Amino acid sequence: MSDYGYCREYGVTDVFHEVDAVYRLEQEKLRCPVTAFDGLRAAGPVVWLESQKVFAVTGYHEAQTVLDDAVNFSSANMAGEQATRNYAEMLSRAAALARDAGRTGGTAPLGDAHPLVLAHADPPVHTRQRALVRPSFSAARVRRAESRIAELADGLLDKVVERGRMDVRAEYSDALMSQIVTTELHCPVSDAPTLQRWARIFMRAVGRDLTDAELDEMARARFEFDEYFDHRIDEVRGQPVEDMLGAIVNERVAEDEEPLTRGELLMICELLLQGGTETSGNTTTNIVHFLAGHPSEADRLRADPGAIPAFIDEYMRWDQPDQMLHRTAVNDTEVAGTLIPTGSVVMVHKAAASRDPRVYDHPGELDYSRPPQRSLVFGGGPHFCLGAALGKAQIRIALERLLARATDIELAVDESELRKIPSIVLHGFEQLPVRFRTIA
């Protein structure tokens, strides 16, 4: 299966002009950023982007090198400088709201104590946090969650199968992922829309500058989120609960270990909410969009559900929901013969690196019979995503249940009417209206 049909009309003439257009969030380029990223990779595995003042790492092996090296490359700026600026300002405003309200969380006012955690933290802090959280993502826990995921998926499909149409993102993929995360965070399913709203507000910080009004909205959401989860943490502490929040809060700590602080727990809750909804939700929506344009592939997967895991792995390589990760050089470091000076911002273009022809034959083709390679989809090195197995299980079950109950899936609007998320990092659709025929 070759590249997206709607990509072929956009040729790369001036690679840096094309890349800058993606950074300017031009919808035409966001529809198919891989054309620009492929051109950028052809310019070299490590390229200086003068307009953005960043080193772009576009080669597969070079991306692995940077992601594996937590000594020379810091993850503190993982989501990018725009997100870091937005987040710092949002936290300052949230802290002011908390102080005005006289709220406290643990020993610090909510809004004040928001340390870097997991994907955003560097060793040794990251090492300690990851060791305390890792048991909550065990293979056994993922297996136990599968029946609940299928139940939630069927519940959402029950609401749309009779009418034979839905907005995939709003009514299925995002709704499902938010319900899954809601239950794992010890929250009632009825609160899923609220958590989904918070996640979407927080994710606005990634990949673009925000207006003053948007920053105020984010600060209010941060304040509400902290108050809400401050109570949830207290509810599960010391209690025999089976959800993920309970497992994290009550993880046994050795005498010489420092337990997770209240601030760390709050930030981990946010990270789980965002990671558990955006990546899985965007991937599911993107896959349904692809299958709507390639019904024979949908029929093939419906007839052979055992092929779905390999299909998902290959699809996520071919059309990544998170296009890039940021790092900051903390030492002068050479990568592929290019010296990256201390303090430089490094952008690991996962989407470009995952189409490196030095590693993948015909990388622009979606071929889920190709031999497996170490994937960059969920990052790499010490920061490889802890939730990768759970996320892929969510996507797989969402796709299995949809294909079991719907056929002849097609877009309910013209392709040109679809809009992409305005972000250089996140890759997905704002809405995806489809119609389908219900399988009896």
DSSP assignment of 341-359 equals -TT-EEEEEHHHHTT-TTT
Q: What is the pLDDT of residue 111?
A: 46
**Between 418 and 9, the higher pLDDT residue:** 418
Q: With 50 as the cut, is the pLDDT of residue 4 above it?
A: no
Q: What is the pLDDT of residue 109?
A: 44
Is there a contact between 139 and 97 (Cβ–Cβ < 8 Å)? no
Q: Which of 17-21, 63-67, 71-75, 146-150 has the lowest mean pLDDT?
A: 17-21
pLDDT band at 10 (very low <50, low <70, confident <90, very high): very low
Taking CB atoms within 8 Å and a gap of at least 24, the contacts of 236-244 are 236/186, 241/186, 243/183, 243/184, 243/185, 243/186, 244/136, 244/137, 244/141, 244/184, 244/185, 244/272
Q: With 70 as the cut, is the pLDDT of residue 1 above it?
A: no
Q: What is the pLDDT of residue 323?
A: 87
Amino acid at 103: R
Is there a contact between 358 and 110 (Cβ–Cβ < 8 Å)? no
Tens of pLDDT, residues 256-297 = 778 888 888 988 888 888 888 888 999 999 999 999 999 999
Q: How far apart are CA 298 and CA 399, in angstroms?
A: 10
pLDDT band at 198 (very low <50, low <70, confident <90, very high): confident
Q: Which of 23-27, 97-101, 183-187, 245-249 has the lowest mean pLDDT?
A: 97-101
Q: What DSSP assignment string belongs to 124-150?
A: THHHHHHHHHGGGG-HHHHHHHHHHHH
Q: With 50 as the cut, is the pLDDT of residue 6 above it?
A: no
Please state which architecture CATH assigns to domain 5-438: Orthogonal Bundle (1.10)
Q: What DSSP assignment string belongs to 279-305?
A: IHHHHHHHHHHHHHH-HHHHHHHHH-G
Q: With 60 as the cut, is the pLDDT of residue 12 above it?
A: no
Q: Which of 154-163, 199-208, 257-266, 388-397 has the lowest mean pLDDT?
A: 199-208
